[in-house]
Each structure stands twice: as C-alpha cells, then as structure tokens.
Amino acid sequence: MQAGLPSAIFAGAMAVSDNEGIPGAAYVDLNKQFVDDRQPLPHMLATADRFSEDARKLGINQHDTIIVYDSSGIYASPRLRLAFKAMGHDKVAVLDGGLQTWQTHGLPTSRFKYESLSMGDFVAHFRPNLFCDAEFVVESIRSTNFTVVDARSPARFKGTAPEPCAGLRRGHIPGALNLSFEAVLDHGVMRPPAELRRIFDELSLLQRSLIFSCGSGVTACIPALAAELIGFTDIRIYDGSWSEWGARADLAVAID
C-alpha cells in the first residue's frame, strides 16, 4: 500500500464464511492479530512492538488512512479502530454497516488475496488513556470519576443468563450501567446522532467520563464509538472486561 492512500482492513473477530471483501482489502483476525497472545485473557491489546509488526505485515504505512469494516454490520471493526488510535494513529474510521452496506450500494467485491504483502513502515506509539485495567476500574468506582457502561445483554448484566465461558461468575461490576451494544445499532448500522443522544440521556450519566466493558473488550467498543459520535471525549475500554472481572474472586460482583 502506498503512503497516503486509504488502506481498507477487514476487522474480523469471527471466522470468515465467504472470503469476499472490498477490492484491495486485507483480512484481520482479531483472535490472532493485534492482540497480546501471551496473556491468558482473549483479545487483550498487543504491545506496541507486536502491534507495529502486525501492521507492517499488512502493508500499512505510517501516513495511511485506514478504513476498518466487518463482513456484516458493525461488530469487531470499532475495536480495531480504537486499537489503532491507542497506538497513536488517528486516521482510522469504521465503515458504517460494513461490507453488507457496501454490497447494498452495488459496489464491487473481490476475493481476499492472502499472498505476501509489501512490508509497511507503521510504528506504534502507545497512548495509555484509551484502554484500562481492572485496578483502574476499581479505583474509578471508589472515586466516582468514571461511570462503567456494560455492553453485554441485559440478561447477562443482571445475572439471569449463564456466561458463555466456563468459570465466570454471573452479574456485573458494582455501579455499572447496562447499554447493550445492539441498542446503538439499527440492523448493523449506527443509529443517527439524535437517537444516540436519547439512548445515552436515558442512562442519566452524572459525568462524561466513561469506561466501557463487555465480555472480552470487543463489543464494548461499539457503544464507545457511539459515545464519541455524540461528543463524549473521555472514554476508555476495560480491556479484560468480564473475562477478567468475572473470573477474579477478589473483585466484587453485583446482581440485580
């Protein structure tokens, strides 16, 4: 990819079913790429060195504009967008509605090419203010400086539905509010700003500093993107999310 030209990247946390994408796009598997695979938790943000290596292998350059998208709707692409922003790269955007919307507009697709790409020159510069750990969440609860927003389903948040991963307790972080990631979407497309403002107003947020959590730090980035679109600026993702909190006996759990 030449410097200055858009780089279209497919952000896939799930397996690809058809291998079709936007012409010139590269495929990303968020189970394996841009993650710290030394961690026992899934989808943890990669170190700057690992992130740089993965980006270069995709041919990404320091000055590229990056477009991230999903095969259907919006799902994993906001996570990859925030990951790039956390690594100092601001020229990254989500394709609203993903490949499905692209095809609805009659735009062309092609099969992904998996041969070796020219190495890029991307260098990550980690920004520590977009992702946080459990200890930061604990301190934020005590100080009430942040509100935790849980993007899981209402049933999982309330503890009435079992967790999909074995060994995790039911419930939610004490003091957290529930905003399912699906609530900010309309058939895979981000809702208009007026609707998003109404949704966030219904949460009765007392401050505009938010920590978003979910099951493993992926879908939390969807309402985080929605919050950005309506003017929230102090936003963090709890990287370990419920995969960590639900497994640690030293962390309090609420059920209601």
For the annotated catalytic residues, the residue numbers are 214
What is the Cα–Cα distance from 119 to 61, expressed in whole angstroms?
8
Residue 80 burial by Cβ neighbours in a 10 Å radius (0-12, 13-18, 19+)? buried
What's the burial of 179, exposed, middle or buried (CB within 10 Å: 0-12/13-18/19+)?
buried
What's the CA dihedral at 66, 72, 75, 79 to 10 degrees? -20
How do beta strands 66-69 and 7-12 pair?
Answer: parallel
Contact 32, 13 (CB under 8 A): no
In the chain, at which residue ranges do the beta strands (DSSP E only) sit?
Answer: 7-12, 20-21, 26-29, 66-69, 92-94, 110-111, 131-132, 147-150, 177-178, 185-186, 189-190, 209-213, 234-238
> Going edge to edge, which strands form the sheet with 209-213?
131-132, 234-238, 209-213, 147-150, 177-178
Q: Are 201 and 238 in contact (CB under 8 A)?
A: no
Cα 93 from Cα 212, distance rounded (Å): 19
Q: Please say whether the beta carbons of 200 and 138 come within 8 A.
A: no
